[in-house]
Amino acid sequence: MSVEITRLSNGIHVVTHHMPHLETTALGIWVKAGARDERAAENGIAHFLEHMAFKGTPRRSARAIAEEIESAGGEINAATGMETTTYYARVLKKDWALALDILADIFTAPVLDPDELERERDVILQEIAAAHDQPDDLVFDLVQAASFGAHPLGRSILGTHDLISSVGRDQILDWRNRNYWGSRMVVAAAGHIDHAAFAAEAQRLLGAIAEGHGPQRETPAFLPTACTAEKPLDQAHVVLNFEAPGYRHPDIYVLQVLSNILGGGMSSRLFQEVREKRGLCYSVFSFGSAYEDAGQLGVYAATSPEHANELLDLAAQIMMSVGEQVTEDEVRRAKAQLKASLVMNLESASSRADQIARQFLAFGEVPDMASLMAKIEAVTPDQVRDLALRLFRHHKPAFGAVGHIGGLAGYETIARPFA
């Protein structure tokens, strides 16, 4: 289960995990640049650029990109996050060089044709409209804004209708030139792959990229408030969100266990109390989102408007209860789920490639599985209880809500149980 790492001449790191029993290879380019690296007037550009990469290069038209990878039976896609952008593919083991050539081509040489840009602008505007029509998407955008305000983490990855309507080719190129540098990149593969051959091809295809420097990011402040949207829906979608450690913090494993105990599965406190015993909702879960220098721990639920206040009050009681008592059995179950999730990634080339790339971008290394398991196993009930107290007691949550919310209690009332 060895991971091999090579640093190219321009600072790009090549990371592979050879899985000889597989007949496929998953590979991609991960760059430490995302929506967080946009200026306010650029909101949505990172995502726009990711879309435009597939619209043609000097060597391939948009149609040729799709036909070439699919003629080999492969898949290709991309994704933009707050802190990273990913271009990835999955192919039969003999076709990894073709996939890497296509990925490198769209990454390094997108034409950004004006006609294609206008067509894709319309596509993204429709994507923004669709997100606004999906209450379980919109409520998370609202709670991000309620958590981080004007900081880039408080903005939507998709951008706004007004900004996307006016963004131009030069703005997209300027953002790309400021952020797509070798020092921020990992080229990763997992599956049936030879590391030396893969690294040599990555050097040939991507070696001309300038090394540059790492992201220059402003640390966010968590300034909780409420952001809500009235919509003619049958349910109220609500989120309570608290400041939490980032992924570099030693408490990150405690945070993951805490989130799991709160609402990570059918045995979690939220699921059992809110859904199984009270029948207040169909969907309820907790989430822990970690960035390099900040994080958040929150609870989401969708319920009927007449049950929303009762659900929020009960959720607050459950969250505070973790600061009072945590059992060995709860911690044992949570740790088992987390460890199983790590191991299950080893059974998928795509999941494993994504895992090792993100680990290297985050920590500058790929931790071995035994050390990760040990850190999870070391979490104790007292640590979970203490972290819950630190996060919830005497701290106001950020609050987001979408739907028929006219009957919701005021923000101060919702936040009062944590005072």
For the chain, count helices (H), then strands (E).
Answer: 16, 11
Report the SS3 class of residue 230. Answer: strand
Give me the residue label for tokens 């989120």: 239
**Is the Cα dihedral 272, 276, 277, 281 positive or negative?**
positive
Q: Which two tokens stand for residue 83?
A: 């802190």
Is 68 an active-site residue? no
Q: How many CB atoms lie within 10 A of CB 418?
A: 17
DSSP state of 73: T
What count of other Cβ atoms lies within 10 Å of the Cβ of residue 320? 15
Q: How far apart are CA 88 and CA 30, in angstroms?
A: 8
Which residues face 289 on adjacent strands?
Answer: 296
Q: Is 71 exposed, middle or buried (0-12, 13-18, 19+ CB in 10 A)?
A: exposed
Q: Tokens for 285?
A: 């879960």
Among the options 23, 38, 42, 50, which is catalytic?
A: 50
Amino acid at 6: T
Residue with token string 């951008």: 159
Q: Which two tokens stand for residue 314?
A: 């009960």
Tell me the three state secondary structure of residue 381: helix
Nearest one of 186, 168, 180 to 112, comparing CA atoms:
168
* Active centre residues (catalytic): 50
